[in-house]
Amino acid sequence: EIVLTQSPATLSLSPGERATLSCRASQSVSSYLAWYQQKPGQAPRLLIYDASNRATGIPARFSGSGSGTDFTLTISSLEPEDFAVYYCQQRNTWPLTFGGGTEVEI
């Protein structure tokens, strides 16, 4: 199965700062990578699919890039509601797999 490694595990930032999250795949997933945000006690929410496509209703401060094995989620200017855990997920190969998550904390 494809292993997704997210870094860093924790990102400590302040509101207004730029966040850069990384996801590296153990083999190429082409552009078939998504990003999700999860807050405590809530279900995950889709942010980005197929590497760079924002999901419905997602603010423009969230952007995704990358292809092959290296991907990045960028939050251009952190809002208070953006502090959460972020997961990447590949759909290139079954079984579908998730990364271990990056916590963005204040």
Q: Give residues in contact with another protein (CB under 8 A).
A: 1, 32, 34, 36, 38, 43-46, 49-50, 55, 87, 89, 91, 94-101
How long is the chain? 106
Measure the CA–CA gap between 92 and 45, rounded to whole angstroms.
20
CB of 30 to another protein, least distance (A): 12
- Smaller CB distance to another protein: residue 78 or 88? 88
In angstroms, give the least distance from the CB of 60 to another protein: 19
- Quick one: CA dihedral 64, 65, 68, 71, positive or negative? negative
Task: Specify the 3-state DSSP secondary structure of 88.
Answer: strand
Closer residue to another protein (CB): 62 or 87: 87
**Min CB(46)–another protein separation in Å:** 5
Tokens linked to 86: 């972020």
